[in-house]
Every structure is written in structure tokens, then in C-alpha cells.
Amino acid sequence: MTPEELIDNFSYLTDWEDKYRYLIELGEQLPPMPLEEKIPTNKVEGCMSQVWISHTEQNGKHLFKMDSDAHIVRGLEAILWLLVNDKTTDDIKALDIEGIFNELGLSEHLSPTRRNGFAGMVARIKEAVG
């Protein structure tokens, strides 16, 4: 799914409850992260819930695995995963992740702690790609 398709899908949802349900659905579609990758070095600090992001690079593409014990956070991870997984460094650096997040209409409905957690996830991705 492209950023434009993601934004388009969210634009059809007129109220927060529908966006909330769609966010949870996206999280349910996130590929599972193996238990052995849920280690302290993959844990994202600054999140109230448990959040893990692992990263590898293969053939010039960045591959991410993500998981969380919270449905909404897992949905946020699914959005990030759709945007950055299997992309090149240049592709990821060219993304305005925060801008896309704002266009989805999510930032005004999330608590400050969830927004901070999302920022931590984005920082982890940016750190991974350099």
C-alpha cells in the first residue's frame, strides 16, 4: 500500500471510531514478530506499552519486524511498516512520516503518551536507516 492509498483509505472514514477500528484491523494484519526477536535491544523506550522493532538490511532494502502488546500501538506500527518495510534508504528518507501521520487524522485523537511513543518508533526507524 502506498502512502497515498493509506491516506485515501483513512479519508473515507468520517469519524474517530471508524478510524480506530481500521487502525486495529491494520495491526491485526501486521506480520508476526518471532518471540526470539522480542529482546531488550529491539524494545522501543518511551512507550507505555511494550513495543519492539527489529531491523535488517538485505539487497539494499530495509526489512522491519514490529510488534506491540497494545492494539492501537500495533496499528500505528502497521502504518509505519507499510510505509518503510522493503524500501531503500533513499525511499525512507524521502518520506515525511509525521506529515503522513497528520494527514491520516490520527494525531488529534491519540493521547500525548501514544504520540510520544509513535515519535519513538519513527526515531528508531530513522536510526536504523542512518
Is 20 exposed, middle or buried (CB count within 10 Å of its CB: 0-12, 13-18, 19+)? middle
Burial 73-98 (b: 16+ CB within 10 A, else e): bbbbbbbbbbbbbebeeeebeebebe
Locus of grid cell 507505555: 48
Cell of 82: 507499510
Catalytic residues: 47
On whether the CB atoms of residues 68 and 32 are closer than 8 A, the answer is no
CB contact set of 99 (below 8 Å; sequence gap of 6+): none
